[in-house]
Amino acid sequence: MNYYNEIKEIFVKNEIYKKVKDYSKNRSDLNTYFEVGRLIVEAQGGEARAKYGNKLIKEYSIRLTRELGKGYTERNLRNMRSFYIKFRKWHTLCAELTWSHYRLLLSINNENQCNYYICITRKLNLSVRELRERIKSKEYERLGKNVDIEKPKVESLIKNPILIKVNNKNEKLTEYALHQSILENIDDFLKELGIGFTYVGSEVKIKLGDRYNYIDFLLFNTNFNCYVVVEFKITELKAEHIGQIIKYIGYVDKNIRKSFHYETVGVIICKKENKYVMEYCTNPNIFVSTYQTI
């Protein structure tokens, strides 16, 4: 079998197809690169040998460049080989991701992790730059072990630690300074929290008995149809923090939440966790995470 001629023919057909049917050229690209990867693996004698055989790829690259022009570098052909080896096992190709998205995913060796980034890119229509930033920040590693992006639970979408942008890293971080930094970068903060979080207000004034209290941040999650009370602590988690947020949750449930909303959720973001405090917290709607400043 002449693998080179078949590979060349596939590339030529893809270029023609893209010009005629521009609307689906991304799907054509992905199918083309996947099929070329398969042929390269076969030409190199199977998957076990293909990972180490680059001599044939160099030959194909030189010939393709000479006969078809730019875009057929050794690196590109190696990526196509890796693309086939990895994604024939893991995932049906998603045309909502581009070849550039998939190239970013080639370095990921964990199947669940890779599928998470594919799903989050599709759901949020992430650009290549946005996907790169999420991978670089180790977003998947900061999620719960049993995260299911297709059927998520609130707790599985709250990262730990949560990365917070601050304007002056050398400044002593008080709760006020942390609060202001979040307000100035509120869009980044909401994205960092997870899917579906929207801003309702900060320093939300509420009256408990004859005293006024202030909720650090009140959010709403459109995916889970519930209000989210967020409290920040620049110290280790303490028992009184749990008591405080329970009161805030109760207030929101009684005075703000509508009958068609689910129960309010509370999130305490602190400098350091305390597993003993959480061990005796019986409220299933309270979650704790730590933060890191960037």
Q: Let me know whether 282 and 168 are in one domain.
A: yes
pLDDT tens, position by position, 106-138 = 999 988 899 889 988 988 889 999 999 999 999
123 in a domain, yes or no? Answer: no
Rounded to the nearest integer, the mean pLDDT of the chain is 88
Same domain flag for 84 and 7: yes
**Confidence band (pLDDT; 50, 70, 90) for 151?**
low
User: Is residue 99 one of the residues assigned to a domain?
Assistant: no
Q: Is residue 107 part of a domain?
A: no
Is 11 contained in some domain? Answer: yes
| Contact predicate 64/72, CB 8 Å | yes
Residues 6+ apart with CB under 8 A from 182: 164, 189, 202, 217, 232
Instruction: Determine which helix (DSSP H) or strand (DSSP E) holds 36, and give its type and residue range.
Output: helix 25-43
The pLDDT value recorded for residue 48 is: 65
61 & 183 share domain: no
Q: How does residue 195 score in pLDDT terms, banded at 50, 70 and 90?
A: confident
Segment 156-170 mean pLDDT: 82
1-15, 123-137, 176-190: segment of lowest average pLDDT: 1-15
Q: Is the pLDDT of residue 281 over 80?
A: yes
Domain boundary among 66, 90, 114: 90
Nearest to 219 by CA among 240, 239, 248: 248
Same domain membership, residue 203 and residue 78: no
Q: Quick one: which H or E segment has residue 258?
A: none
Torsion of CA 142, 146, 152, 155, to 10 degrees: -60
Q: How many domains are there within the chain?
A: 2
Using one digit for the tens of pLDDT, what is the confidence trace for 19-75? 655 546 788 889 999 999 999 999 888 776 666 667 889 999 999 999 998 889 999
Answer yes or no: is 196 within a domain. yes
Cα distance between residue 31 and residue 40, in whole Å: 14
Residue 158 in domain: yes
Q: What is the mean pLDDT of residues 156-166?
A: 85
Domain membership flag for residue 288: yes
163: domain CATH number is: 3.40.1350.10
Taking only the tens place, the pLDDT of each residue in 212-241 is: 999 999 999 998 899 999 999 999 999 999
| 174 and 85 housed in the same domain | no
Pair (84, 161) in one structural domain = no
**Are 34 and 160 in the same domain?**
no
Tell me the sheet residues that pair with 162: 291
CA–CA distance, 192 with 166 (Å, rounded to integer): 14
Helix axes 186-193, 175-184, angle to 10 degrees: 90
Split at pLDDT 50, 70, 90, the class of 150 is: low
Q: Are residues 259 and 163 in the same domain?
A: yes
Burial class (CB in 10 A: 0-12, 13-18, 19+), 46: exposed
Reference 108, options 142, 141, 65, 75; nearest CA is 141
Q: Which of 162, 230, 233, 232 is nearest to 194 (CA)?
A: 162
pLDDT band at 293 (very low <50, low <70, confident <90, very high): very high
- CB burial of 56-69 (b: ≥16 within 10 Å; e: otherwise) equals bbeebbeebeeeee
Other Cβ atoms less than 10 A from the Cβ of 82: the count is 19
- Identify the band that residue 172 occupies on the pLDDT scale cut at 50, 70 and 90: confident
Residue 183 lies in a domain: yes
Q: Please give the share of the chain, as a percent, with pLDDT higher than 90.
A: 59
Q: What is the mean pLDDT of residues 163-187?
A: 87
Q: Residue 176's domain spans which residues?
A: 154-293
